[in-house]
Amino acid sequence: MGKTVFNLHSMKLNSKLAVAGVLLFLAFSGNAAAQTVIDSLLKLEKNQYFADRDSAYLDPYYGLKKLIYGNRRFAEDKSVKPRQADIDLKNTEKGQAPFATIIGCADSRVPNEIIFDQGVGDLFITRTAGQVMAEASFGTIEYATVVLKTNLIVVLGHQSCGAVDAAMKLPENPPGHVVTLINAIKPASLRAKAANLAPAEALDFAIRENVIEQVKMLRNLEPVLSRKAEKGEVLIVGAVYDLKTGYVNFIEETITSLPKFAN
């Protein structure tokens, strides 16, 4: 009898491992397929690590390439740390012309200039927990778009986001204004729960859904961003930073839906 129970237990365990293996394979395959699509659309080159800054400022599609190549340098331990010398820090009194706006999480593990290997004056950044946005954030983003002529906006989520995790767990008495973060992320967390995934996969799903939701919100934000996004004058895309690998994975549907590709 003991042997039979052991065998049944082993069969159940092996079955669970097999299912987990399939899920991991599908997730990897999905990411790989998405990356292939993005590489093709943006005409990314293999073993390429650099893109011209002036072109990135003028052309947001090229700006995406610059961010991706910079992140590739970082993830592969080939960072060059451009424009980060003392003279670069001090010689900024004439103004700024960042080529991209990053809307990121305040998490201390996601330093934007470092993971994209960019320097002083390259990125205009606004950060809050869960990259949740409100009026001050909207005004900041519009300032970069209208005044600084920055025509690429990236909503950047990240793996193991504490704010999204809090929204998934829905604590009864969140301290202070944390409830505002939870309420903003709640739609994404509810979709993740409805997917009936394991806790780790559900969190990843919610993080991705939260980014997509925020991209859609900015694309429909009146009066500045919605009109510029519709005309293709400003690109608004989403991505998720992987803490383990160092790679920033851009979300395929936020790329394929850009005006240049959607049409």
Burial zone of 34 (CB within 10 Å; 0-12 exposed, 13-18 middle, 19+ buried): middle
- CA dist 219 and 225 (Å) reads 6
Q: Are residues 12 and 63 in the same domain?
A: no
Q: Are residues 20 and 56 in the same domain?
A: no
Look at residue 30 in the predicted model and tell me its pLDDT. Answer: 60
Q: Are residues 93 and 197 in the same domain?
A: yes
Q: Are residues 149 and 26 in the same domain?
A: no
- CA dist 123 and 193 (Å) reads 34
Look at residue 33 in the predicted model and tell me its pLDDT. Answer: 81
Instruction: Report in angstroms the alpha-carbon separations of 190 from 95, 210, 239.
Output: 43, 10, 20
Look at residue 233 in the predicted model and tell me its pLDDT. Answer: 96
Q: Are residues 87 and 211 in the same domain?
A: yes
**DSSP-based three-state secondary structure for 127:** strand
Give the angle 89-102-148 at the CA atoms, nearest 5°.
Answer: 65
The number of domains in the chain is: 2
Q: Which amino acid is at 153?
A: I
Q: Are residues 8 and 56 in the same domain?
A: no
Q: Are residues 217 and 127 in the same domain?
A: yes
pLDDT in tens, the chain (263 residues): 444 443 434 434 344 444 444 444 444 456 778 889 999 999 999 999 999 999 999 999 999 999 999 999 999 999 999 998 888 888 888 899 999 999 999 999 999 999 999 999 999 999 999 999 999 999 999 999 999 999 999 999 999 999 999 999 999 889 999 999 999 999 999 999 999 999 999 999 999 999 999 999 999 999 999 999 999 999 999 999 999 999 999 999 999 999 999 97
Look at residue 48 in the predicted model and tell me its pLDDT. Answer: 93
pTM of the model: 0.87
Cα end-to-end distance, the chain, whole Å: 66
What residues does 237 pair with on adjacent strands? 154
Q: Are residues 72 and 1 in the same domain?
A: no
Q: Are residues 111 and 219 in the same domain?
A: yes
- CA dist 91 and 103 (Å) reads 25
Q: Are residues 36 and 152 in the same domain?
A: no
Look at residue 32 in the predicted model and tell me its pLDDT. Answer: 74
- CA dist 11 and 251 (Å) reads 37
Q: Are residues 36 and 50 in the same domain?
A: no
The whole domain housing 3 covers 1-42
What residues does 240 pair with on adjacent strands? 157, 249
The DSSP secondary structure of 110-126, one letter per residue, reads --HHHHTT--TTTEEEE
Asked if 206 and 164 touch (Cβ cutoff 8 Å), the reply is yes
Per residue in 114-144, pLDDT (tens digit) is 999 999 999 999 999 999 999 999 999 999 9
Look at residue 56 in the predicted model and tell me its pLDDT. Answer: 96
Q: Are residues 176 and 201 in the same domain?
A: yes
Look at residue 35 in the predicted model and tell me its pLDDT. Answer: 84
- CA dist 226 and 213 (Å) reads 15
Instruction: Report in angstroms the alpha-carbon separations of 126 from 78, 181, 236.
Output: 26, 15, 14
Q: What is the CATH number of the domain that holds 159?
A: 3.40.1050.10
